[in-house]
């Protein structure tokens, strides 16, 4: 594992925002079809997807985040994956209970950079909690889950996870879940004003002023709860139950059968803290073959999005594949970049229909065409 130091830090990021990745990596794995010669770029976020992409045997994974604390989290996850026995690994991460996470952290300290140590040494509460729970977004999701269980009933939420029949879930949701309290809750708690208390308002700067958060997320929850295979979705189980469903339904990078492979490939990750476009400008042309941008494009103005895509084309190899998500702000490559970038729209729609993450509105797959 190599770590590149940031040139600057953004004042918005004072802590870990995402302790987990909330994008389904299986979509990217299928879109990328990674080979041993591929250099893969990904946004770090919770670090889960950078680790998961190692399972497909790339030459290298570059994991970048503007928030350096996301990379401090990835460092700690890598340190734990490298040495901890599997039961202790799950305990330390917060998948299973433990009273000894501080002792485990002390044993991992020699593996961490000075910057990561400076961050984690003063946050024993986050360590005790379990590092998959320490993000601001996860705190929001756990609060959302507690309030949901209070409003519609814990037994109803848990029952939904036992019902495989979609029509039965739809009927139960419409008749029992979607009560007056639930509708008021989605209108108020999922409003733009309340969400801006949990997340910096700058995250919503590109969104139309009159966009209805409450209606949008109410629709998202109904679709997810009634149509997705709930036990298989770590995202829904965490949001609604406050935990993964059970030890047979974990993220790919935490499954017992994958740990040995991951340990053998951890040194292929390069961690970078800084601005994406600035980092690309430091690279020679034709350096990267796969790009996972998550949903960073909707945080930036349209011109910044275009400028970053233009630099992406330069740093990409021919036939490089880009993937990204749209949560609230629709983004797709501008016409001025065609035919250098083309969309693989049918494939993207097909994969999005299989998405176990309930959050994103759309999924984009695009391909770089050099020399056109």
**7 Cβ contact list (under 8 Å, min separation 6):** 274, 275, 278
- Whether residue 126 contacts residue 8, with contact meaning beta carbons closer than 8 Å, is answered with no
pLDDT category at 201 given cuts 50, 70, 90 is: low
How is the chain split into domains, by residue range? 136-241
Residue 172 and residue 189: Cα distance in Å, rounded? 23
Reported pTM = 0.93
Report whether 76 contacts 116 (CB < 8 A): yes
Residue-level pLDDT at 208: 62
pLDDT tier at 372, thresholds 50, 70, 90? low
Give the tens place of pLDDT for each residue, 287-321.
Answer: 999 999 999 998 888 999 999 999 999 999 999 99
What are the two backbone dihedrals, phi and then psi, of residue 106, each rounded to the nearest 5 degrees? Answer: -60, -35
- Whole-number pLDDT of residue 189: 75
Whether 6 has a pLDDT exceeding 70, the answer reads no
pLDDT for 203 equals 63
H or E stretch covering 289: strand 288-292
Q: Is 291 helix (H, G, I), strand (E, B) or coil?
A: strand
Helix (H) or strand (E) holding 25: helix 25-32
Percent of the chain residues past pLDDT 70, beyond the cut: 91
Instruction: Using pLDDT thresholds of 50, 70 and 90, give the confidence band for residue 2.
Output: very low
């Amino acid at each position: 594992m190599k770590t590149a130091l940031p040139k600057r830090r953004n004042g918005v990021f004072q802590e870990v925002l995402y302790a987990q990745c909330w994008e389904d990596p299986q979509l990217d794995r299928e879109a990328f079809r990674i080979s041993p010669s591929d250099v893969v770029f990904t946004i770090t976020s919770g670090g889960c997807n950078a680790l998961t992409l190692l399972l497909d045997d790339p030459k290298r994974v570059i994991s970048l985040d503007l928030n350096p604390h996301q990379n401090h989290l990835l460092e700690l996850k890598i340190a734990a994956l490298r040495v901890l026995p599997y039961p202790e690994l799950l305990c330390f991460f917060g998948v299973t209970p433990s009273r000894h996470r501080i002792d485990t952290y002390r044993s991992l300290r020699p593996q961490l950079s000075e910057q990561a140590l400076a961050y984690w040494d003063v946050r024993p509460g986050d360590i005790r909690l379990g590092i998959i729970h320490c993000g601001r977004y996860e705190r929001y999701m756990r609060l959302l889950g507690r309030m949901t269980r209070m409003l519609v009933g814990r037994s109803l939420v848990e029952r939904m996870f036992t019902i495989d029949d979609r029509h039965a879930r739809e009927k139960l949701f419409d008749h029992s879940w979607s009560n007056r309290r639930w509708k008021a809750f989605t209108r108020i708690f999922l409003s733009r004003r309340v969400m801006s208390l949990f997340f910096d308002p700058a995250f919503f700067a590109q969104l139309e002023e009159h966009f209805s958060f409450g209606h949008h997320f109410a629709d998202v929850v109904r679709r997810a709860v009634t149509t997705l295979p709930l036990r298989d979705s770590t995202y829904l189980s965490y949001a609604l139950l406050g935990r993964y469903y059970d030890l047979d339904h974990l993220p790919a990078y935490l499954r017992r059968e994958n740990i040995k492979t991951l340990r053998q490939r951890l040194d292929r990750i390069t961690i970078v803290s800084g601005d994406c476009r600035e980092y690309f400008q430091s690279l020679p042309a034709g350096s990267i073959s796969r790009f996972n941008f998550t949903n960073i494009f909707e945080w930036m103005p349209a011109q910044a999005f275009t400028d970053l895509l233009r630099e992406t084309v330069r740093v990409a190899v021919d036939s490089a594949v880009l993937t990204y998500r749209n949560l609230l702000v629709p983004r797709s490559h501008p016409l001025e970049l065609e035919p250098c970038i083309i969309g693989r729209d049918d494939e993207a729609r097909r994969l999005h229909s299989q998405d176990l993450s309930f959050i994103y509105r759309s999924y984009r797959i695009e391909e770089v065409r050099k020399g056109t």
